[in-house]
Structure 1
Amino acid sequence: MDFVGRRGALFGLALRTGILTILTLGFYRFWMKTRLRRWYWSAMRPGGHPLEYVGDPFEKLLGFFIAVVVLTFYIGILNLLLMFVSFSVFSSSWVGYAASFAGVIPLWFYARYRARRYVLGRTRWRAVRFGLEKGAWGYAGRALWYWFLTVISLGILWPRMTFLLEKYKTDRTYFGSARLVQGGSWTMLYRAAWPFLGGVLLTALLLLWVMVLDPVLPERAMEDGEIWRTLEFMVDGGRLFYEWNAPERLWLFTLSLSVVGYGLIHYRWVTKRIMANHKTAPGISFASGLSGTRVAMIYSLGIFISYMALVIGVLMLILAAFGIFGTQIVESYLGIQMGGMDLPRWLSFGILGVLYLFVFLMWGVLHNTFVTFPLMRHMALTTTLPNANGLTRVSQRERDAFAEAEGFAEALDLGAAI
């Protein structure tokens, strides 16, 4: 597979469509997503032939409205019932809030499957459609059960959950008339989890060292809630009246937590590589050379660039707000005439609103340019089809039509990614 897209062209497209999204108060978002997907899809060229994305932004817009109506009714009725039971039985609201949150989780998994089905159904290669069978509620039920088993096993069955959920989706995926099959077993994913397990073990050993074996604070500071009173005293401006015992050791947690973060990224992407190497279709096989280290570097650099831009933008926004309103505050409370800007209130809020939207627009553009772009390129350039003889026997499949498109994923804020 080749990748022919250029970072500069993507930056310009993301910036233009982002500005139009702001000017239309968010309605252009569905067109923006469609144009970005078409750009990415056309840049990926298996065998020299570009992928095609034929999604319709009107489908996305209509699907979003349908999903909002359904979710409003569902969540509204559910919350009323849960809060009534919570107050009647437990005389408290927290049980109702917790149950309400839990009631949305199945919809989250349902929306993810539906979004995948829509994207595949609107993707073509050499005019042949991809597709995904119905089964969103089956996926949601399995995801809930596998997550439950993973939690009660303290994460030991995490690879089992990863494999079985991917197998459920892969075994229902088609390219034309060819059905994909996920081979292998879930135990093969354990080797991808070693960096994460190493980070967790290192963090646990550090906690044992600085809290039990050689505490940073004296024993009496750790007893009877004294440590919390000490922290509160420090927050109020007081000085710590306990001697620290080699507090520089606490910096080691930066290292251990970095290893944990790398382990999570490594696990997610290396499991994709392992499972891709065990995907087949009649007469077709796949191979992936995804590098967990390369992906971690992309995340580290890209997220640093995008979030630094966000932090700098927010600081500039604060300075602008102080420049506009700061003089008024000083004059009101201190009675000092500063002679600053005297802008109408509506214009002041308008300027700050535009700056606020521009800051988050640039964050989205940079995230697209320095995170999504290199990830898509790396996935494309490391994917091959060692055996493609079965492609000659593939025939066309019918077009999937579903009214709500990605509406539930958009309404639940799961559709931001490409």
Structure 2
Amino acid sequence: MTDTSTLQGEGAASAPTHLNGVFLSEKSKLFWLALWTGALTIVTFGIYRFWARTRLRRYIWSSIKPGGDSFEYTGTGLEKFLGFLIALVVIMVYSGILQVVLDFIGYSLFGEVISGPNSSMDDAVIHIGLTFGAGLAILPLIFFAQYRARRYMMSRTRWRGLRFAMDAAALGYTWRAMLYFAAWFVSFGLLTPLVTFRLEKYMTDRMWYGDARFEQTGQWTALYAAMKHQFIAVAVLLLGAAIIYFGQAVALGGTVMIAGGLWLIFGFVYYQVESFKYLTAHKVLDGKVHFTSNASSARVISIFVLGVVLIAVLVVGLIIAFGTLFGLFALAGSGHDVTGVDRWAEIIAGIGLGAGLGVIFGSLVALVCIGAFVIVFISAPILGHYVDTLRVENAEPLEQIHQRAGDNMVDADGFADALDVGGAF
């Protein structure tokens, strides 16, 4: 839907003053697309997933139509596959070097401790420390992959024939993200708004639509309002712990802590939605075009909960149906000439084997279906809610934006694929 503004001269309509986000996706088409691409991914032992994700992105992108004009995804499965291979080699080399360094630290610097009288305990502590260090050492690759994944998707997205793009600045994002992660860790999460705002600003300030640059404005302290439910949830959790410790009321305290845990989950979702709304409202394109979002955390949670319940019912139903069907086939194949206890035992064993095979087969079918169900009932509806509640304000300057050169990325979003980061679809 596109809303038009006042007339510019007699009888001539000007460009629309704002554009409403529109998400038009047919669940049946999306389900069958996700189903057969998921099945091919399993049959090919995961190799087809690069082409599967490409096909899904093309369909999802074409379903997003701000102002009636759909997005276009131009990425290919082959470049994603080759990018994954490149990223895999880099990660393997990095992991090998990391392992050599950790071994040197563990067996050279701590060699005397490990061989001491308390070697078993000290050895366990050191290995835990080295494992934690290895986990931290992977973080730079994860942050690097996050930036590269967004840059790749931007470079392969068009709207109204104009390319999106992002500057090559993944290394700068990586070391900043490491510093902000350290700040978040030592502050016990209290600096979450700072981390969210600064990292998003770094990315947004390097994004382009055609020859027009995006800019992230606003203040990071404004995001604390989005954390209110997390603060309340922590207070409820502390109250429950106090009731158990001081009041010796385990049942009451446990109930309060469960309520606090559920409230904390809601608080995380609330923060994600509200921070998205704030950051969206303070994004500017070419210094003129603005954006607003009316996304609802309650709606996002309801989509997720209903989707999980529906998927659980469907998956259990599939497994039971296949188990029953195979069991009936086994019963039909056993014949009806029943004589003696041994014959009954043979029939029961055959039915049990058939039902077991049916459950196994049903589980494989359910595994394929789960991916399709998650996309159709959770991921796509949540994305659709974000798109439908998005609005582009002061859209007239969009008509003055021109094309820019293409952005070739050798590794595509291979690091994101290898490390399983970078978002849905």
Shared fold, TM over 0.5:
yes
Of residues 181, 193, 210, the one that matches 2:244 is 210
AA matched with 2:135:
F
Deviation at 1:26, TM superposition (A): 1.5
Report whether the alignment pairs 1:287 with 2:292: yes
Contact 1:285 / 1:386 at 8 angstroms: preserved in 2?
yes
Cα-to-partner distance string for 1:337-388 (whole Å, 9 max, x where unaligned):
95334999xx999988754432322221111111111111111111111111
Could you say which residue in structure 1 is the equivalent of 2:108? 88
1:45 to 59, 65, 84: 65
- 1:262 equivalent to 2:266? Answer yes
Give matches, 1:45-84, under 5 Å: 45-84=65-104
Q: 1:153 aligns with which of 184, 187, 206?
A: 187
Taking the aligned partners of 2:326 and 2:167, their CA distance within structure 1 comes to: 52
Paired with 1:252 and 1:130, the residues of 2 have a C-alpha distance of 48
2:306 and 2:355 mapped to 1: Cα distance?
35
- 1:51·1:126 contact (CA, 8 Å) conserved in 2? yes
Map residues 374-389 of structure 1 onto 2, 5 A cutoff. 374-389=381-396
Alignment match of 1:365 (pick from 353, 362, 372) = 372
Scaled by the length of structure 1, the TM-score of the pair is: 0.82
Cα deviation, residue 403, structure 1 = 1.1
Q: In structure 1, what is the Cα distance between the partners aligned to 2:352 and 2:311?
A: 32
8 A Cα contact 1:194 1:263, kept in partner = yes
Query: Does the Cα contact within 8 Å between 1:11 and 1:366 map onto a contact in 2?
Result: yes
Whole-angstrom CA distance in 2 between matches of 1:313 and 1:89: 56
2:143 corresponds in structure 1 to 109
Q: Does 1:412 align with 2:408?
A: no
SS of equivalent residue, structure 1 residue 2: coil
Offset at residue 140 of structure 1 (A): 1.4
Offset of residue 393 of structure 1: 1.7
TM-score, normalization by structure 2: 0.81
The counterpart of 2:174, out of the listed 134, 140, 146, is 140
Indicate whether 1:131 and 2:135 are aligned.
no
Distance 1:402 1:22 in 2: 28
The DSSP-based 3-state class of the residue aligned with 2:165 is strand
1:238 alignment partner in structure 2: none
Change (3 A) 1:207 1:144: same
Match 1:300 to one of 302, 305, 309: 305
User: Residue deviations 1:262-294, cap 9 Å, x none?
Assistant: 000010111001110011112211111111111
Tell me the secondary structure at the aligned position of residue 384 of structure 1: strand
Per-residue CA deviations over 1:297-340 (Å, capped at 9, x if unaligned) read 12222233334555667889999999xxxxxxxxxxxxxx9533
> Which among 91, 97, 103 is matched to residue 131 of structure 2?
97
Contact 1:14/1:365 (<8 A) preserved = yes
Is the Cα contact below 8 Å between 1:68 and 1:408 reproduced in 2?
yes
Aligned residue for 2:408? Answer: 401
Query: Within the alignment, does 1:193 sit opposite 2:198 as a pair?
Result: no
State the match for 1:16 in structure 2: 36
Q: Distance in 1 between matches of 2:66 and 2:362?
A: 42
Cα-to-partner distance string for 1:132-181 (whole Å, 9 max, x where unaligned): 11111111111111121122122221111110111000000000000000
Question: Residues 380-405 of structure 1: CA distance to partner in whole angstroms, max 9, x if unpaired?
Answer: 11111111121122111111111111
What residue identity is the alignment partner of 1:176?
Answer: G
Paired residue type of 2:109? V
Separation (CA, whole Å) in 2 of partners of 1:184 and 1:78? 39
Distance 1:364 1:387, change over 3 A: same
Structure 2: runs of 5 or more not aligned = 1-20, 115-122, 328-343
Query: How far did 1:94 drift?
Result: 2.9
Distance 1:350 1:214, change over 3 A: closer
Structure 1 range deviating more: 183-192 or 310-319: 310-319
> Cα distance 1:351–1:100, how it changes in 2: closer, same or farther (>3 A)?
farther
Question: How many angstroms apart in 2 are the aligned matches of 1:303 and 1:250?
Answer: 25
| Aligned-CA RMSD value | 2.9
The one-letter amino acid paired with 1:285 is H
